[in-house]
């Protein structure tokens, strides 16, 4: 398992905590930046992270910003990405089981490091259920073609 991570200045602390947490668990990470607290543009890092997931360099991605919302909006512009901004355990599990989400978006100003790490664990460890849900994923993918 290899996880792509990216953030803007408002998600830097959370991204760094997630990288340390995942490495402790033996999960390989690829850090697409940003690397400083200097103000920057989140779509740049959302795209880098999303392209690593879509291109197969990484299995899943995690993006961090102030709320997780901006990152999810930017990442979802990349064909094939299903990014979800969330802050609770039920949604972290459901978005993998039912939506086959491939990027988790977290807000540093919304979730603390402990909750963020817990949500990342749930997201990474939860499989896609397939079955009746696959038809819906296929319908989502067709939207990319319209």
Residue 98 annotated among the catalytic residues of the structure: yes
C-alpha 23/C-alpha 29 separation (Å) is 7
Question: Which residue do the tokens 């319209």 mark?
Answer: 146
Q: Which of 7, 58, 65, 117 is catalytic?
A: 65
Distance between CA atoms of 20 and 24, rounded to whole angstroms? 6
Name the active-site residue from 98, 105, 117, 133: 98
Query: 59-85: b or e for each residue (b if 16 or more CB lie within 10 Å)?
Result: ebbbbbbbbbebbbebbbebeebbbbb
| 105 catalytic per annotation | no
Other beta carbons less than 10 A from residue 51's beta carbon: 17
Cα dihedral 107, 58, 60, 78 sign = positive
Residues belonging to the active site: 65, 98
């Amino acid at each position: 398992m290899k996880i792509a991570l990216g953030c803007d200045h408002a998600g830097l602390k959370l991204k760094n905590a997630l990288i340390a947490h995942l490495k402790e668990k033996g999960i390989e990470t690829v850090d697409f930046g940003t690397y400083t607290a200097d103000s920057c543009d989140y779509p740049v890092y959302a795209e880098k992270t999303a392209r690593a997931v879509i291109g197969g360099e990484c299995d899943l991605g995690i993006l961090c910003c102030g709320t997780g919302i901006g990152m999810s909006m930017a990442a979802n512009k990349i064909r094939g990405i299903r990014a979800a901004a969330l802050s609770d355990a039920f949604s972290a599990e459901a978005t993998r089981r039912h939506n086959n989400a491939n990027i988790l978006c977290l807000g540093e100003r919304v979730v603390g490091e402990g909750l963020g790490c817990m949500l990342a664990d749930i997201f990474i460890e939860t499989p896609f259920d397939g079955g009746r849900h696959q038809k819906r994923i296929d319908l989502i993918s067709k939207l990319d073609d319209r």
